[in-house]
Amino acid sequence: MAGEIGEFIDKGKIKDSLVDVSGVSGFFIKPAESKTGACEIVSSASGIKHYPGAVVTFPDKSTHKADVIRMDEKSDLAILRVKSVENADSRCKPLKIAGEQSNIGDNFVVVTHPTGGWNFQSGEHVGMAAETKDPESHANAEAVLMDKQRYVVAGHVDQADRGAPVLNQKGEVAGMVGWPGKGMPEYHVVMSSDLKRNIAFKNKFDAPALFSTVRDSKFTVYVDVLEKGKTKKYQGSGFFAYKEPGKDGLCEGTTAYHVVGDAQKVHVVLNNGKSYNASVVAGDSLKDLAVLRLKGMQPGSCRVLPLAEGMSLRPSAPLLELTARDFEMRYRTGTAAGYVRHPVPAKGSWLELKMDGTTYDGDSGSAIINRRGAVVGIHHSSAALSHVGYSTPAFYLRQMLSKLHPGK
């Protein structure tokens, strides 16, 4: 019976592994081997409101600021790290991730949010469900459905329970609560295989460390566009791509062409809050690339990102997208999903980089960088409902800059 599973779980021990993450649930996992003195937490991506950071409340009621080191919005899963925790080994007790997937009929316990004290509720794996709204829009609907399948567990949880562990009879994490339906007699569970995949990702790709080395190379692009006799304001992202030192030196950045192509006025805001007017000195509407020249900025302050050579990213290679919006320098993580050919009627075609990861309005022009800090793509669009983004390979930007500055 589902109600009997609690007898197999040491509730006192489990509570020492549970945390509150900005108002939703979470739990400790084993940190990366190199991160001594740090605590790592799994929680719900949709529940974290202050990305790329969050506030974590430990079992001893102490609060800590945490960095988001992995964000998988397709799975509604986030991994966070709290650095420099005193007595981390004794205060951050990790739960073990189950090695095997559950079967229909298996019993679970879900530990719900501590608004009224941690509660242990029984549930039962009653089936599978697909998290997709429009599978017909994809070439292979069945593959999309399988890619987003979740457990369906009988039981009642609330929005604050997102990120809560779902435990099997061994007390291991069989999954994590995601997308609970309000007033519904069931909820969907992120699979343990998704947990393990994301843990493996963060262990080999230290996003916060990489972000700290490149954040000052990014800027936010603001444009004024005249539409039907009225000036409207829009924004996008960009990054420094070229500079020439010396007294008469210059500093240039890049963004997506559709951000600035119709602009009457362009200015950029750096990470330090300084603002510079900019002009478009080169553009390609087909490949959605533009080069901006910043006016009055000294080349010594222009922190150029290196451009990767060629187009040789392997599938599932970890990537970091740098996005700049409303003076907040942000980043997101994702994985390479290969190159696809983008047809242009009557003009041939060109290749674009496909990336698994969610993007938003204002991200156009963002740099997509590899683990070595080199730009592999410039974001220009995303596919609705599919958590997939598309970017122009840096190879094309390298060609544009070579034409703009021949011999340099």
Residues 170, 223, single domain; the answer is no
Judgement on whether residues 166 and 28 belong to the same structural domain of the protein: yes
**Domain-embedded: residue 1:** yes
340 belongs to a structural domain: no
pLDDT above 70 covers what percent of the chain? 79
Q: What is the DSSP letter of 365?
A: T
CATH of residue 243:
2.40.10.10
- How many of the other CB atoms lie within 10 Å of CB of 84? 9
Q: 111-152: per-residue pLDDT in tens?
A: 877 666 777 777 766 665 554 444 333 333 333 333 445 666
Number of domains in the chain: 2
Tokens of 210: 């990489």
Beta bridge partners of 66: 54
Same domain, 240 and 292: yes
Picking from 162, 159, 120, the residue whose alpha carbon sits closest to that of residue 27 is 162
Q: What is the pLDDT of residues 355-386, one digit of tens each?
A: 876 666 678 999 999 988 999 999 998 765 55
Please give the residue range of the domain that contains residue 297: 219-301
- 105 and 78, same structural domain? yes
Task: Judge if 194 and 229 occupy the same domain.
Answer: no
Task: Specify whether 266 is located in the same domain as 187.
Answer: no
Query: Using 50, 70 and 90 to split pLDDT, how confident is the model at 251?
Result: very high
DSSP state of 276: E
pLDDT band at residue 68 under the 50/70/90 scheme: confident
Nearest to 244, CA basis, from 200, 182, 300, 169: 300
Specify which of 170-174, 248-252, 396-400 reaches the highest per-range mean pLDDT: 396-400
Residues 198 and 242 in one domain: no
Do residues 102 and 176 both lie within one domain? yes
The answer, yes or no, to whether residue 187 has pLDDT greater than 70, is no
Q: What is the pLDDT of residues 323-344, one digit of tens each?
A: 876 545 578 888 888 888 877 6
Any residues with CB less than 8 A from the CB of 89 and at least 6 apart, and which? none
Whole-number average pLDDT of the chain: 80
Find the CATH number of the domain harbouring 62.
2.40.10.120
Any domain includes 306: no
Q: What is the pTM of this model?
A: 0.71
Count the Cβ atoms, other than its own, within 10 Å of residue 55: 17
* Highest mean pLDDT, choosing among 61-65, 106-110, 307-311: 61-65
Handedness of CA 60, 83, 22, 185 (dihedral sign): negative
